[in-house]
Structure 1
Amino acid sequence: MTATDTNRGRATDTDTVTPTAISTPARRGTPPTGVFLAVIALCTAVTAANIYLAAPLLDLIARDLGVAPSAAGWIASVAQLGYAAGLLLFAPLGDTADRRRLVGALSAAAGVALVVAGLAPGLPALGAAVFAAGAATVVPQLLVPLVAERAPAERRGRHLGVVVAGLFAGVVAARVLGGLAGQAYGWRAVFLGAAGLTALIGLATAALLPAETRPRTKSDPPAVLKGVARVPRVLAASAEVRSACLRQGGMYGAWSALWTALALLLTGPGYGMSTGAAGLFGLFGLTASAMGPLSGGLVDRFGVTRVVGAAYVLAASSVPLFWLGGSRIWALCVAAVLLHAGLMTGQVANQTRALTATSSPAAANTAYIVAAFVGGAAASALAAPAYGHWGWGGVCAVAACWLVLGWLGAARRPGLTPRTGRAA
């Protein structure tokens, strides 16, 4: 989910920080708050960009490796699958491990993986390296709770807002700057440059993080495993969590399918744009940033159910416009705005539903984020072959199917009631 972390930060400031889990972070020797937040926002932007780095470069990758553009499309979905795997493997360690060391280790690992990607001789090696880089890109999920812990209660929202703004800036930069740099210097230079930035900014951030003294006992590893094991139990027990996962999986899948193949459409014979010009469409991601605060207010006023419905209406309205955009640029622009608005609105509402529907919100949040990225990765994997066989219309059909599956799969059945009434 490009764009998925606002409410996670709100949840983790109360759910993952307990007096018995960690000690109060040491503040002595840390930089002023403004500098600290700026560095963390920059680190979040740089690491989040790695998930979407390949999408605007697919045409360049295909030409360099001598394959059809549609054959390289699955590379974009591999990064999302890697991120989902990293959430399950590494994000739970933030409750027990020293986050300073963990952020440094993951940043270094991501940098190495991106170097391997930039030197990859073929698609299999590139896919493996991109998967590893995506798995190590869970650093934002370690930094958001830390910011929430350190922030005064009256300024917590502002501090988290800075980090979330960094996240969206990274998503936009991956699309826009990645495309422009790829056109000027080649796709390999983009991956190698991202490797240097990721390692440099990540290690600098780790050095500025407060020291944490967490008592390590023999029960720590089982505790982490128990946290992961709670995820399927929460899914089985809560219809509301399942609904949130399916709805956002469908929404994120539609967005991923369209956005993965969009670069192929724009650089193809129909529009004939350069990679850099096609990357400028990433600026429509700013729509999602603007919708975040507004969506939260709508949820508070009208409830989750109505807002999720409105989000699906926005996304569904964009699909026929995307289809029309196969030959009309204005339709693509309008569709991009509608889709991003629907994605962020659904993100805020569905995550609110997941976090408030169970007594285990941390496990529910993990299930929700993983479901969204798995849905997105699966749709991305289908988008490129669909484009190769049926053109842009095939991609739009994949997006429409994902929206239908997400909506119908999460439809309530008689007798299923949420565990609490706060999410409805």
Structure 2
Amino acid sequence: MPSPTSTTSHRAAEIRIPARERPAASSRLFLLLIAVCTAVTAANIYLAAPLFPLIAHDFGTVPSAVAWIASVAQFGYAAGLLFFAPLGDRVNRRPLVALLSLATAAALGLGAAAPGTAALAAAVFVAAAATVIPQLLVPLVAERAPAHHRARHVAAVIAGLFTGIVGARVVGSLAGQAFGWRWVFAGSGALTLVLGLATALALPSERRAREGALFSGIAELPGLVRRSPDLWRACVRQAGMFGAWSALWTSLALLLTGPAYGLSTATAGLFGLFGLTATAVAPLAGGLVDRFGAAKVVRSAYVLAAVSVPLFWLGGQVPAALFVAAVAIHAALVASHVANQTLALTTTSAPATANTAYVVAGFTGGALASTLAGLAFTHWGWGGVSAVAGVWLVLGWATTAVRR
């Protein structure tokens, strides 16, 4: 495994950044723009989840019959990561970010006009596949951050990522209740286009010197993970953590708008505010990773997530338990993500490709857990969803604990 020093020098040899552009890339304003763009684009992955009751009513069906679209979005995002994110090691990110922003906006526009479930699912898949912009920007931030503050810089972007994911539930449900779900899709497409193009213009121009075919990064993924135990461990542990979170969070609207609580779509969406408070954990987690290392932070995050699962189960009848569980699971997910992604970005000499392996693993785990959670809710209710989340946590930790 390459040392941090050799990794840094290798990256410097691969990327040639004009000196006049380095200050812009390291400025707080630039980091803020990336964080905001990350928030908006990440929200597109979960845009449909809080709108299921409205979508189902529009299409003349029940919410549980359209809940599978949440899994379609996650599989789409994983596919986009697999094909587009490794390009960060090979091409100039500026035109790539602009092109993906255009594609995302177009897909969301088609989703807004979808006549049925199948057409909407296809549009959501394409939009999620194209909205991989955050995972092109995170490696860029890590490359340019000072070594002793790298985790903190990564944490700033991750805070934007989770603000968008959780904010999608709050803003989407309120806007959907007021204007209809189709206008939410159209508005998100317009916002993605504006911020995506603005970010593309602000990115530094890069010259990539890596050899090989354009999509050869895909072929490199298995070998890269096999050669790096730290990367493999980060991938599996985040798949377990993200799967547990996805099972609970994507099914939450079904619980809150169902017989147990009977809330409206807008009121249920406000529940996301409890998760939004946990995004403040990202800067704290970044500092802890820089000081104590990623392994200790991930271990603590898993303990917190394990405590939150029975609280979620109890929250099927007790609102207070649901409130505490929402904050706990988001804090665990954010802390785990900051630690694992920092490890993934710094453990190899191909950060964009390693980041692809890491995020694809996480979202694949999330998509599978969401699919099983939807089936579990249909057959066993909220207790079945909680069981899926618990199993995913056990698998994520136990699998990495038995390998040297």
Normalising by the residue count of structure 1, what TM-score does the alignment of the two structures yield? 0.84
CA gap of 1:147–1:357, structure 2 versus 1, over 3 A, is: closer
Is the CA contact 2:156–2:283 (under 8 Å) kept in the aligned structure 1? no
CA gap of 1:240–1:21, structure 2 versus 1, over 3 A, is: closer
47, 50, 71: which one pairs with 1:53? 47
Aligned positions of 1:260-339 closer than 5 A: 260-299=250-289, 303-339=293-329
Q: Separation in 2 of the partners of 1:406 and 1:241?
A: 14
Deviation (angstroms), 1:155? 8.1
Query: 1:200 and 2:190 equivalent?
Result: no
Is the CA contact 1:21–1:96 (under 8 Å) kept in the aligned structure 2? no
Q: Separation in 2 of the partners of 1:295 and 1:343?
A: 11
Q: Separation in 1 of the partners of 2:30 and 2:291?
A: 34
Amino acid at match of 2:71: S
Deviation (angstroms), 1:22? 4.1
CA gap of 1:58–1:202, structure 2 versus 1, over 3 A, is: same
2:341 corresponding residue in structure 1: 351
In structure 1, runs of 5+ residues without a counterpart are 1-9, 417-424
Q: Separation in 1 of the partners of 2:288 and 2:173?
A: 35
Q: Separation in 1 of the partners of 2:295 and 2:147?
A: 29
Q: Separation in 1 of the partners of 2:16 and 2:269?
A: 43
Amino acid at match of 1:278: A
Q: Deviations over 1:246-303 (max 9, x none)?
A: 2211111010000001011111121111111111122233343222233344445555
Q: Separation in 1 of the partners of 2:248 and 2:299?
A: 21
1:181 corresponding residue in structure 2: 175
Is the CA contact 2:88–2:136 (under 8 Å) kept in the aligned structure 1? yes
Q: Separation in 1 of the partners of 2:149 and 2:333?
A: 27
Q: Separation in 2 of the partners of 1:285 and 1:15?
A: 39
Query: 1:228 and 2:228 equivalent?
Result: no
CA gap of 1:128–1:369, structure 2 versus 1, over 3 A, is: same
Total equivalences in the alignment: 400
Is the CA contact 1:250–1:406 (under 8 Å) kept in the aligned structure 2? yes
Q: Separation in 2 of the partners of 1:359 and 1:400?
A: 35
Normalising by the residue count of structure 2, what TM-score does the alignment of the two structures yield? 0.88
Deviation (angstroms), 1:56? 0.9
Deviation (angstroms), 1:380? 0.8
Q: Separation in 2 of the partners of 1:190 and 1:328?
A: 31
1:89 corresponding residue in structure 2: 83
Q: Separation in 2 of the partners of 1:305 and 1:139?
A: 27
Aligned positions of 1:6-405 closer than 5 A: 14=8, 17-24=11-18, 27=21, 33=27, 35-147=29-141, 162-212=156-206, 220=211, 222=213, 224-299=214-289, 303-355=293-345, 362-405=352-395
1:3 corresponding residue in structure 2: none
What is the RMSD of the two structures over their aligned residues, measured on CA atoms?
3.1
Q: Separation in 1 of the partners of 2:9 and 2:176?
A: 41
Q: Deviations over 1:206-260 (max 9, x none)?
A: 2343444568xxx8552x4443322201333344433322221111101000000
Give the match's secondary structure for 1:18.
helix
In structure 2, runs of 5+ residues without a counterpart are none
Greater helix percent: which structure? 2
Q: Separation in 1 of the partners of 2:241 and 2:323?
A: 19
Q: Separation in 2 of the partners of 1:203 and 1:273?
A: 38
Give the match's secondary structure for 1:90.
helix
Identity of aligned residues (%): 62
